[in-house]
Chains A and B, each alone.
Chain A
Amino acid sequence: MAKGEKYDVVIVGSGFAGANLALILGREGKRVLIIESGDNFPSNREDYMENFYLNTFKSPNSPYSPDSNALDPCHTNAPRPTIQALVEADGRVPDWNNPAKSYFTYTEGSLPFASTYERGVAGGTGNHWMGTCLRMGDEDLKLRRDFGHGLDWPIDYDYLEPFYGLAEHQIGVSADVEEQKIVGTRFPADYRYPMRGIPLSNWEKIAKARVDGPPLTNERYAIDRTVVTATPAGRNSEPYQERRVCHGNTNCTPVCPIQAKYDPTVSLDQALATGNVEIRYKSVVDYIILDSSGRIGGVHYQTYEDISVPATPGQTGEGRAMGTIYVLAAHAVENAKILLHSARISGRPIANSSDQVGRNLMDHPVYLAWGLLPPDAPAYGYRGPISTSGIETLRHGPFRRDRAAWRIELGNAAWNWPVGDPYVTGLDYIYGTDNGAANPRRAVHGNKDYVRVLNDILTRQFRIGFLVEQDAEARNRVRLSTREVDNLGIPRPLITYDLSDYTRAGFEKAREAAREFMARIGAEDFTRTVSAAENPTTFDYNGQSYNYSGAGHLCGTHVMGTTARNSVVMHSQQSWDHDNLYIAGCGSMPSIGTENPTLTMMAVNWATARDIIRRL
């Protein structure tokens, strides 16, 4: 299509929401343009894996450009938050609160936001997702009505249910319906997942044998049992869509070497193959243009070439894309940023008569617990997908009136997440240090002693993680910095972030449940809390300190609701204020529940696609 022509749909972003919308629309013969801030995903995956192998700091960011080791958001085209900015410091100044190092800037008194996302590659953040595909439950969607906290969805589970099935088949989810019924999920009578479930790992089987039983705390739960169940996942247990079966590379996050894990580039490739979808890479939409009637008249974007940090050339060009319908699918924070920047430029609110754009920012702060299994029952971790099971039976119940819910993810990568092993403990025994807490005598070992001790420790390591619900709070929000910009001159996010007492109380119960888990499994508990000076993602509650990690689940910045006054979008994700604008993605979710949000976002997205098709 020539420039200046009008597409049926212009989509900003090629992640989970954008790529799948484009696919559904493209299959219906609609002419779609995707504008993507990142570069094309490399065609040769093995060459691309080099990025990951060669990165000494293996975070969710690590395979993806721009280089997450070089912290200079002012001089980066399309920067994003990094784990390095969260954990590092320049002398006494922590990087997370230093605008020269951190993409996010913060208002006074904020806690650091612990999760990151991607903008530098097609497929976006979905490239690094772990693959967990749990459906939300009835309760999750009515947190305010039933428990007096957060916000309600304007729809219920029965509305979403058929779309969940469509999403699960597009992704390729491996699970067994009968097992998922145990955790309370409702399915149509004849529903089957596309592929059979993925087997539990060695240590998860031990956990199941020892931990299944009564609930882990003395609270009232909808399901009165602790049951370890396999986690439905967008990961092949059989060849699917010409992608291979999982080999257990233990690398789902940040990248599956063989694409046994679904990622949005699968849908993007299918979308492009319809012949009806075009994509422009390295094109950053910075603002929306209104026409005289108040409808969206176009989106403006800047192009860039240089992905290095620091980038010398910035903008290489610009463009304006026009469509009958526009969809922002740039990720929760970036969607809000585009809308707020558009308002700044135009002098009037864009899609924001509710004043909710950017508000209700949520994540799953994670409580990690880890330990060593007894010598007679080693875990043999560092194998398999990063997680193949969880405890989902304790997600729902009357306790939600008093404290935030959580789901428990069992992890197969031993102490990699909480401690940084096998690196930290392996080096502890060379340097006589105790950074991992598994070398209390600060011994130095070599030869067979080293092998024996490290084999013993590494094979017994395990970890669990509690994904704690954050209730939607208007005060948690994304605004625009008035001072800080990126290399394209686009204002960077200004974050206000805190954890409510409701969520902190959830952590308190998570700690209690973790200790019970450790007791039942017979583990030596190594869970430790470090001070805020050592780890800025720390808070206090009821006289105890807690460290929190980020699950990578950014939600809530353009919530759906029942009216234009209380929400940004309708349940179809159409803007209340501009009838040719949709705002898609996890930002539309009024509650985050305990479930990894991607599957639900995909389901909502399907309904959006249907709505758009109906209108075109």
Chain B
Amino acid sequence: MTGLHHRRSILKSAGALSGVLLAPALPLWALADEVTVTAPQSEIDTYTQMSAALLGIEANVLVPELIQDNLPLSELYFSVATATPLGREMVDRLLVYYRMLVDQGASPAQVARILLSGSTGRPSLTMESTYARLTMMMWLYGIWYGGTEVSTLPTSEPYIDPAYRSDFIVSARAYKNAWIWRIAQSHPMGFSNFAFGSWAEKPPTLGDYGIAL
């Protein structure tokens, strides 16, 4: 039972399956237990702050103090975005631009608006915006949407390394921590920590999920 109407345009991808089924061109994020992060913590923090502005969810909620396996999603997503030299360069420019907006006094909401839609209200086509969207979608879905970005906005193609112009789930952990489900006051399909009968009652509030409107 799947959505038939728009699967073709949104989710057509090689997919990423474990073990021998992994498509050869895709990175091995799915199998990674640890991520080697080569950027200074300050840069990761900036990336997290920018993510918080895009999502409207506080940085200390996106990256809580206590993380059981000591791998903040910010580091994981930063590593995915900067996995190639091109990606590294793009994220550097995005963070420089972000810092500039903040220094100019832009609020988080204004930052999000500028990064996502510039002044037009349409999706912005700059390289910074490409990586802002890709970052936002990783937090929301645990998915790198390189393929969808390129098929929806072909002008983004030169900003993304060919090996990353596809859609893939970053990792099972990323899938389980995807924020779209919390925005829906639910849980990822296939992963629930709730109890029997919980569906009969109202769900936790957005506030319970750490999201303040």
User: Do chains A and B stick together as partners?
Assistant: yes
Let me know if A49 is at the binding interface, CB within 8 A: yes
Q: From residue 7 to 25 of chain B, which have CB atoms closer than 8 A to chain A?
A: 7-18, 20-21, 23
| Cross-chain contact A49 with B121 (CB below 8 angstroms) | no
- Tally of chain A residues near chain B (CB < 8 A): 93
| Cross-chain contact A424 with B10 (CB below 8 angstroms) | yes
Residue of B nearest to A453 (CB): B183
| Cross-chain contact B172 with A50 (CB below 8 angstroms) | yes
- Determine the chain A residues whose CB is within 8 A of the CB of B195 once the complex forms: 247-248
CA of A130 to CA of B1 in the docked complex: distance in angstroms? Answer: 10
| Cross-chain contact B192 with A450 (CB below 8 angstroms) | no
Residue of B nearest to A452 (CB): B213
- Determine the chain B residues whose CB is within 8 A of the CB of A205 once the complex forms: 200
Residue of A nearest to B148 (CB): A427
- Determine the chain A residues whose CB is within 8 A of the CB of B111 once the complex forms: 447
Report the minimal beta-carbon distance from B126 to chain A, rounded to whole angstroms.
14
Q: From residue 191 to 210 of chain B, which have CB atoms closer than 8 A to chain A?
A: 191-203, 206
- Determine the chain A residues whose CB is within 8 A of the CB of B3 once the complex forms: 415-421, 424
Let me know if A449 is at the binding interface, CB within 8 A: yes
| Cross-chain contact A417 with B185 (CB below 8 angstroms) | no
Contact of A451 among B10, B12, B56 (CB under 8 A): B56
| Cross-chain contact B116 with A430 (CB below 8 angstroms) | yes
| Cross-chain contact B190 with A89 (CB below 8 angstroms) | no
Pick the interface stretch among A55-63, A493-501, A572-580. A55-63
Pick the interface stretch among B37-45, B69-77, B85-93, B137-145. B137-145
Report the minimal beta-carbon distance from B135 to chain A, rounded to whole angstroms.
11
Contact of A447 among B54, B175, B186 (CB under 8 A): B54
Q: Which 8 pairs, one residue from A and one from B, show the smallest C-beta to C-beta distance?
A: A384-B199, A420-B3, A446-B112, A382-B186, A458-B184, A447-B112, A251-B190, A69-B15
Q: Known contacts A237-B196, A423-B10, A451-B183; is A57 also within 8 Å of B15 by CB?
A: yes
| Cross-chain contact B172 with A455 (CB below 8 angstroms) | no
Q: From residue 157 to 213 of chain B, which have CB atoms closer than 8 A to chain A?
A: 167-169, 171-172, 175-176, 180-181, 183-187, 189-203, 206, 211, 213
| Cross-chain contact B191 with A446 (CB below 8 angstroms) | no
- Determine the chain B residues whose CB is within 8 A of the CB of A422 once the complex forms: 180-181, 184
CA of A49 to CA of B176 in the docked complex: distance in angstroms? Answer: 11
Pick the interface stretch among A177-185, A262-270, A529-537. A529-537
Contact of A454 among B9, B183, B202 (CB under 8 A): B183
Report the minimal beta-carbon distance from A49 to chain B, rounded to whole angstroms.
7
| Cross-chain contact A447 with B55 (CB below 8 angstroms) | yes
- Determine the chain A residues whose CB is within 8 A of the CB of B16 once the complex forms: 54-56
Of B108, B184, B203, the most chain A CB neighbours within 10 A belong to B184
Contact of A427 among B116, B137, B198 (CB under 8 A): B137
Residue of B nearest to A444 (CB): B117
CA of A271 to CA of B206 in the docked complex: distance in angstroms? Answer: 47
| Cross-chain contact B199 with A248 (CB below 8 angstroms) | yes
Pick the interface stretch among A154-162, A195-203, A476-484. A195-203
| Cross-chain contact B123 with A432 (CB below 8 angstroms) | yes
| Cross-chain contact A60 with B1 (CB below 8 angstroms) | yes
Q: Known contacts A54-B16, A247-B195, A459-B185; is A534 also within 8 Å of B5 by CB?
A: yes
Report the minimal beta-carbon distance from A550 to chain B, rounded to whole angstroms.
8
CA of A246 to CA of B199 in the docked complex: distance in angstroms? Answer: 11
| Cross-chain contact A446 with B136 (CB below 8 angstroms) | yes
| Cross-chain contact A202 with B201 (CB below 8 angstroms) | yes
| Cross-chain contact A253 with B180 (CB below 8 angstroms) | no
Pick the interface stretch among A80-88, A164-172, A561-569. A80-88
CA of A384 to CA of B194 in the docked complex: distance in angstroms? Answer: 9
Contact of A383 among B148, B180, B199 (CB under 8 A): B199
Let me know if A541 is at the binding interface, CB within 8 A: no
Let me know if B67 is at the binding interface, CB within 8 A: no
| Cross-chain contact A444 with B123 (CB below 8 angstroms) | yes
Report the minimal beta-carbon distance from B125 to chain A, rounded to whole angstroms.
11
- Determine the chain A residues whose CB is within 8 A of the CB of B56 once the complex forms: 446-451
Residue of B nearest to A550 (CB): B1
| Cross-chain contact A199 with B13 (CB below 8 angstroms) | no
CA of A43 to CA of B84 in the docked complex: distance in angstroms? Answer: 37
Q: From residue 539 to 567 of chain A, which have CB atoms closer than 8 A to chain B?
A: 547, 549, 551-552
Known contacts A202-B203, A420-B5; 13 additional CB pairs below 8 A are: A53-B172, A70-B23, A202-B199, A417-B2, A422-B180, A424-B3, A431-B123, A432-B121, A444-B116, A450-B112, A451-B206, A528-B5, A552-B1
Let me know if A380 is at the binding interface, CB within 8 A: yes
Of A55, A199, A253, the most chain B CB neighbours within 10 A belong to A55
Let me know if A9 is at the binding interface, CB within 8 A: no
Contact of B53 among A70, A419, A447 (CB under 8 A): A447
CA of A83 to CA of B11 in the docked complex: distance in angstroms? Answer: 13
Report the minimal beta-carbon distance from B44 to chain A, rounded to whole angstroms.
21
- Determine the chain A residues whose CB is within 8 A of the CB of B213 once the complex forms: 448, 451-452, 455
- Determine the chain B residues whose CB is within 8 A of the CB of A202 once the complex forms: 199-203
Report the minimal beta-carbon distance from A394 to chain B, rounded to whole angstroms.
22
Q: Known contacts A55-B169, A245-B196, A247-B196; is A431 also within 8 Å of B153 by CB?
A: yes
Q: Known contacts A382-B186, A451-B55; is A435 also within 8 Å of B10 by CB?
A: yes
Question: Can you list 14 contacts pairing A with B, beta carbon distance less than 8 Å?
Answer: A51-B21, A53-B175, A54-B16, A56-B16, A56-B168, A247-B192, A249-B187, A250-B187, A388-B199, A423-B141, A423-B180, A424-B6, A444-B121, A447-B55
Let me know if A345 is at the binding interface, CB within 8 A: no
Report the minimal beta-carbon distance from B116 to chain A, rounded to whole angstroms.
5
Let me know if A412 is at the binding interface, CB within 8 A: yes
Let me know if B99 is at the binding interface, CB within 8 A: no
CA of A449 to CA of B53 in the docked complex: distance in angstroms? Answer: 11
Report the minimal beta-carbon distance from A427 to chain B, rounded to whole angstroms.
6
Report the minimal beta-carbon distance from A101 to chain B, rounded to whole angstroms.
13
- Determine the chain A residues whose CB is within 8 A of the CB of B200 once the complex forms: 199-202, 205, 384
CA of A83 to CA of B192 in the docked complex: distance in angstroms? Answer: 25
Residue of B nearest to A48 (CB): B18
Let me know if B30 is at the binding interface, CB within 8 A: yes
- Determine the chain B residues whose CB is within 8 A of the CB of A249 once the complex forms: 187, 189-192
Q: Known contacts A56-B16, A420-B11; is A250 also within 8 Å of B190 by CB?
A: yes
Let me know if A207 is at the binding interface, CB within 8 A: no
Of B30, B153, B203, the most chain A CB neighbours within 10 A belong to B203
Residue of B nearest to A257 (CB): B190
| Cross-chain contact A383 with B198 (CB below 8 angstroms) | yes
| Cross-chain contact B184 with A417 (CB below 8 angstroms) | no
Report the minimal beta-carbon distance from A545 to chain B, rounded to whole angstroms.
13
| Cross-chain contact B11 with A53 (CB below 8 angstroms) | no
| Cross-chain contact A448 with B109 (CB below 8 angstroms) | yes
| Cross-chain contact B6 with A248 (CB below 8 angstroms) | no
Residue of B nearest to A419 (CB): B3
CA of A55 to CA of B23 in the docked complex: distance in angstroms? Answer: 12
Contact of B54 among A420, A426, A446, A547 (CB under 8 A): A446
CA of A249 to CA of B6 in the docked complex: distance in angstroms? Answer: 24
Report the minimal beta-carbon distance from A179 to chain B, rounded to whole angstroms.
15
Report the minimal beta-carbon distance from A211 to chain B, rounded to whole angstroms.
17
CA of A429 to CA of B7 in the docked complex: distance in angstroms? Answer: 17
Let me know if A52 is at the binding interface, CB within 8 A: yes
CA of A403 to CA of B2 in the docked complex: distance in angstroms? Answer: 27
CA of A228 to CA of B206 in the docked complex: distance in angstroms? Answer: 30
Report the minimal beta-carbon distance from A456 to chain B, rounded to whole angstroms.
10
Residue of A nearest to B30 (CB): A54
Of A56, A415, A423, the most chain B CB neighbours within 10 A belong to A56
| Cross-chain contact B108 with A447 (CB below 8 angstroms) | yes
Q: Known contacts A51-B18, A53-B169, A382-B187; is A246 also within 8 Å of B196 by CB?
A: yes
Let me know if A413 is at the binding interface, CB within 8 A: yes
